Every structure is written in structure tokens, then in C-alpha cells.
Amino acid sequence: MTPAEALTCLKEGNRAFLSDEPLQPSLDRASRLALAGGQKPFAAYVSCSDSRVPPELLFGRGLGELFIVRNAGNTLDIAASGSLEFAVAVLGVPLIVVMGHEGCGAVSAAMAVVTRGERFPGNIGKMVEPIIPAVLEASRLGHSTLEAAVRQNVANAVRELREDSAPALIEAQASGRLLVVGAYYALSTGKVDFFDTAAGSATAKT
């Protein structure tokens, strides 16, 4: 599957989800057994841990189709970055999607640190820290809403994967074997907006 075909599959799946006719992937015993010997996902997905944002359901995908990395705020920590490198170098995925979402608590917490000087206990503060640059950048661009900060956080991660990631990812993109895109999920509508699909195309919304 090419990167463009993989992205089209996700878009079609989300359209079905929006129409209340979600795709019904096979989850039977035969399908499980077929995957027991190995996996061949067509996309790697960096998504927030938020329980309202399950990528498989949003796109109607089944077992073995999405290689998913989830953490609060969909950031590229060591585990996430290493997982993506594995997905590309070993599994050969042609598409990486970084997706933020409406009402993200982690990004909201980062905004509270910037705007009100709030502090969070334990590892929560450490988790929020990598998101702060996105909040500051969105504000510098004149966008002070939570959605703008979420989108900027996605755009920053996409930019890192495109320009400053492991050689395996850079080389795969240079050869056209890999596409890295950003997306925003609206909880209120169910729509996934693939707003950053090519270098330099990221946009922030107020």
C-alpha cells in the first residue's frame, strides 16, 4: 500500500464513522489466527490517551491494521519515537499520523502552566513540559485558544518527524515510501481533519 492509499483508507473510514455506518472489520477466530504469525499494519498512529479518542473506532479498522502509540498529549517521547522507528524500519508502514483532539487535557494543562503559572505534581508536570513550546508558539502567532495549541502541538511533532528524526524515517520520507501527516479530531462532530498533510501546510485555527 502506498502512503497516499493508506491515507485514503483512513479518510474513507472516518467518513463511514460520521455517517453512522462504520466499517465492520473482521474480528473472528480465523482473522486472529492469520495474524498470529506476524503483523503488517498500513499506518502508525500517534494519538492521545484520552478514552474518547480510539483510532481503530474512528476509522473502522481491525486487528493488525494500525500500529498505535498513545500517551497524554500525543507527544514524541522516547517510547513513542522508538515505536515509530520500529514501525517504519521493521514493519514497513507507509504512513505516520500524529493526531490531537478537541478538549485535550494535557494541552490544557500546558496552557495553565504558561498563562497562570500552575504546577502539577509528580510525573504529570514532566509529561506536560514538552507541550509548552507549542502553547508558546501558538500564542506568538496570535492564537490563544486550546484548539490552536493542540494543532500547534501536532504540527511541532510532525515537523520533528519530517526534519529531525531517526535516519530510517528521514530516508523513507525522502524516497517517497513514508508520509507523515498531522490531524485533529473534533469530539463534538466525530470528524478527523487531516490539516497537515505536506511540508509547510500546517495551519492554526482560533
Asked whether residue 203 carries a pLDDT value surpassing 50, the answer given is no
Q: Strand, coil or helix: what is 17? A: helix
Query: pLDDT value at position 196?
Result: 84
Give the whole-angstrom CA distance, residue 43 versus residue 66.
Answer: 5
Taken in order of first residue, the domains within the chain and their CATH numbers are 3-26+39-196 (3.40.1050.10)
Percent of all residues in the chain with a pLDDT value above 90, rounded to a whole number: 84
Has this prediction a pTM greater than 0.85?
A: yes
pLDDT computed for residue 37 by the predictor: 85
Res 168 pLDDT > 80: yes
pLDDT at 102 over 70: yes
**Does residue 206 have a pLDDT over 90?**
no
Query: Is the confidence at residue 49, as pLDDT, over 50?
Result: yes
* pLDDT for 204 beyond 60: no
Average pLDDT, integer, range 153-166? 96
For residue 193, the tally of other CB atoms under 10 A from its CB is 16
Outline where DSSP puts E strands in the chain: 43-47, 66-70, 95-101, 179-185, 192-196
Per-residue model confidence (pLDDT) at position 190: 96
Helix axes 105-116, 146-163, angle to 10 degrees: 100
177 pLDDT more than 60: yes
197: pLDDT strictly greater than 80? yes
List the single range of 22-26, 37-41, 94-98 with lowest mean pLDDT.
22-26
Mean pLDDT of the 103-113 span: 97
Q: Which amino acid is at 89?
A: A
Round to whole Å and give the CA distance between 76 and 130: 9
pLDDT band of residue 133 (cuts 50, 70, 90) is very high
| pLDDT for res 28 | 81
Where does the pLDDT of residue 201 fall: very low under 50, low under 70, confident under 90, or very high at 90 and above?
very low
The mean of the pLDDT values for the chain is 92
DSSP secondary structure, 115-170, as one string: HH-----HHHHHHHGGGHHHHHHHHHTT--SHHHHHHHHHHHHHHHHHHSS-HHHH
pLDDT surpassing 80 at residue 205: no
What's the mean pLDDT in 38-46? 95
Place of cell 485535550: 104
Supply the pLDDT for residue 60. Answer: 93
